[in-house]
């Protein structure tokens, strides 16, 4: 079976490519490398000892994407191609709406043209918004997003669901990720943010490797046991394996389906810092600062549906996440550079 990974050279896409190839799927990656590096493709091939077909392509561009569909019999699309920096989305909303929504529409149009009936989409826990109780369950109504990035995810879910109403043959799998961290156990692929990291774990690992002086912890006065925010961190390999299950499921399913992919266990920012220090025997310098605008105090997943329907569950521990992050960062201090 041929799986097209739009945005597949990025953090989640590259790890998913490895798991798909190891499960016997053929992988085609199309990426414009706006937030990734072509070296990721070589590393995927090195880990798996398998070939990847790759295209430098802007997924917005219908002519370019049509060519990919024309030259390859695509059975399933996984749509990772998106801009994802929350703060940047507040400053440049139109760029976010244009990129994230147009990539989705182009993919759906090309799928319709070439008879591809299965799409798995990278959504986010952010679509639960500010109103819902925790843990988040797929049956909850979506909420009010606090930034344009979140709204693009919410809107793209709607566009994909509407497309599946119009075409009853279409299988649409919306994967709501919680907080992916860690790296492949080989240390050959991992998270390589361009510029200053927005997310917690890459920031910690860049402090550990000496690229940043200290971590700033955003807020220590939240109503949590140590005052810092709590999130549901999930090992990237567990998340990638969830995509393999979703691809299997998409191929035998019709209509829209939502799955949370998380562990169900939240950790605070301070717990993550302490776990990283303990797992890797490294001190992480940190300072407390003001709350970051838009952050919720805490949320985590109920992933019972993924376990029940996809036979998927996260198995890796927080220690695994911390050790694998450090294995990647210390072997690649400047990422793929």
Residues lying near ligand NAD in the complex (CB under 6 A): 7, 9-13, 31-36, 58-60, 80-84, 99, 103, 122, 124, 177, 179-180
With contacts defined by CB under 6 A, how many residues of the chain interact with ligand UDP?
Answer: 14
- Alpha carbons 216 and 102: distance in angstroms, whole number: 35
Least Å distance, CB 213 to ligand UDP, is: 12
If binding is defined by CB under 6 A, does position 3 make contact with ligand UDP?
no
Distance in Å, CB of 49 to ligand NAD, minimum = 23
Burial of 186 (0-12, 13-18, 19+ CB in 10 A): middle
Near ligand UDP by CB under 6 A: residue from 34, 71, 216, 315: 216
Q: DSSP string covering 28-76, please?
A: EEEE--SSS-THHHHHHHHHHT---EEEE--TT-HHHHHHHHHHS---E
* Complex with ligand NAD: residue 50 or 98, whichever CB lies closer: 98
User: Does residue 231 belong to the site contacting ligand UDP (CB under 6 A)?
Assistant: yes
Task: Return phi, psi of residue 276, to 5°.
Answer: -65, -45
Residue nearest to ligand NAD (CB): 10
> At what angle are helices 269-280 and 200-208 packed, to 10 degrees?
40
Can residue 218 be called a binding residue for ligand UDP (CB under 6 A)? yes
Cβ neighbours of 271 (radius 10 Å) = 17
154 makes contact with ligand UDP (CB under 6 A) = no
Alpha-carbon 201 to chain mean position: 14
- 143 neighbors 127 (Cβ within 8 angstroms): yes
Instruction: Check residue 199 for interaction with ligand UDP (CB under 6 A).
Output: yes
149 catalytic? Reply is yes
Q: How far is the CB of 24 from ligand UDP (least distance, A)?
A: 33
Query: What is d(CA 208, CA 202) in angstroms, rounded to the nearest whole number?
Result: 10
Does residue 110 bind ligand UDP (CB under 6 A)?
A: no
82 binds, among ligand NAD, ligand UDP, none (CB under 5 to 8 A by kind): ligand NAD
For residue 269, state whether it binds ligand UDP (rule: CB under 6 A): yes
**Residue 68 CB neighbours (<10 A):** 19
Q: Choose, from 149, 222, 233, 267, the residue flagged as catalytic.
A: 149
Rounded to 10°, the helix 39-48/11-22 angle is 30
Q: Identify which range of 18-26, 44-52, 194-202, 316-324 contacts ligand UDP by CB under 6 A.
A: 194-202
Residues making contact with ligand UDP (CB under 6 A): 179, 198-200, 203, 215-218, 229, 231, 269, 292, 295
Residues with catalytic function: 149
């Amino acid at each position: 079976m041929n799986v097209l990974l739009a945005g597949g050279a990025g953090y989640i896409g590259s790890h998913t490519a490895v798991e798909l190839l190891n499960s016997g799927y053929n992988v085609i990656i199309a990426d414009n490398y706006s937030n990734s590096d072509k070296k990721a493709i070589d590393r995927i091939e090195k880990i798996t000892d398998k070939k990847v077909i790759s295209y430098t392509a802007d997924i917005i561009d219908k002519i370019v994407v049509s060519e990919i569909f024309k030259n390859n019999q695509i059975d399933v699309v996984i749509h990772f191609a998106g801009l994802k920096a929350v703060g940047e989305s507040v400053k440049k909303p139109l760029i976010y709406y244009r990129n994230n929504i147009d990539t989705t529409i182009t993919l759906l149009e090309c799928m319709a043209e070439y008879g591809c009936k299965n799409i798995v989409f990278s959504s986010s826990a952010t679509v639960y918004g500010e109103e819902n109780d925790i843990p988040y369950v797929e049956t909850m109504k979506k909420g009010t997003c606090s930034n344009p990035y979140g709204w693009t995810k919410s809107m793209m879910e709607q566009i994909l669901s509407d497309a599946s109403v119009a075409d009853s043959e279409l299988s649409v799998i919306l994967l709501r990720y919680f907080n992916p961290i860690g790296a492949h156990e080989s240390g050959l692929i991992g998270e390589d943010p361009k510029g200053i990291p927005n997310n917690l774990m890459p920031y910690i690992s860049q402090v550990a490797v000496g690229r940043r002086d200290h971590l700033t912890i955003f807020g220590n006065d939240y109503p949590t046991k140590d005052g810092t925010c709590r999130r549901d961190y999930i090992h990237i390999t567990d998340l990638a394996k969830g995509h393999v299950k979703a691809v299997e499921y998409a191929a035998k399913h019709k209509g829209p389906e939502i799955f949370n992919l998380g562990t169900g266990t939240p950790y605070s920012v301070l717990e993550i810092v302490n776990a990283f220090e303990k797992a890797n025997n490294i001190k992480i310098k940190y300072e407390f600062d003001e709350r970051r605008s838009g952050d919720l105090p805490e949320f985590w997943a109920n992933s019972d549906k993924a376990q029940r329907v996809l036979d998927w569950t996260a198995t890796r521990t927080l220690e695994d996440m911390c050790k694998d992050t450090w294995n990647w960062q210390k072997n690649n201090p400047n990422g793929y550079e």
